[in-house]
Amino acid sequence: MPQRSNKPWPFARLGYLIATAFGFCWGFIWSTGEIRKLDGLWVFTGMPNWTFGRGGVCIGGCFLTNSTVSEAVLRHERVHQQQWRHYGLALAVLYVLAGRDPLRNRFEIAAGLVDGGYVKQPPQTKPVANNTKPTE
The 10s digit of each residue's pLDDT in 100-131 is 999 999 999 999 999 999 999 877 766 666 65
pLDDT at 85 over 50: yes
Residue pair 108/118 in contact (Cβ under 8 Å)? The answer is yes
Please tell me the distance from the alpha carbon of residue 68 to that of residue 82, in angstroms, as a whole number. 21
Average pLDDT rounded to a whole number, residues 83-88: 98
pLDDT score at 121: 81
Q: Would you call 100 exposed, middle or buried from its count of C-beta atoms within 10 A (0-12, 13-18, 19+)?
A: exposed
Q: How confident is the model at residue 1 (pLDDT cuts 50, 70, 90)?
A: very low
- CA angle (91 as vertex; 68, 53 as ends), nearest 5: 35
Report the range of poorest mean pLDDT among 9-18, 56-65, 124-133.
124-133
For the chain, the average pLDDT equals: 91
Q: Determine if residue 46 is left, alpha or beta; phi over 0 gives left, psi from -120 to 50 gives alpha, anything else beta.
A: left
Dihedral of CA atoms 36, 38, 41, 43 in degrees, nearest 10, equals -40
Q: How confident is the model at residue 64 (pLDDT cuts 50, 70, 90)?
A: very high
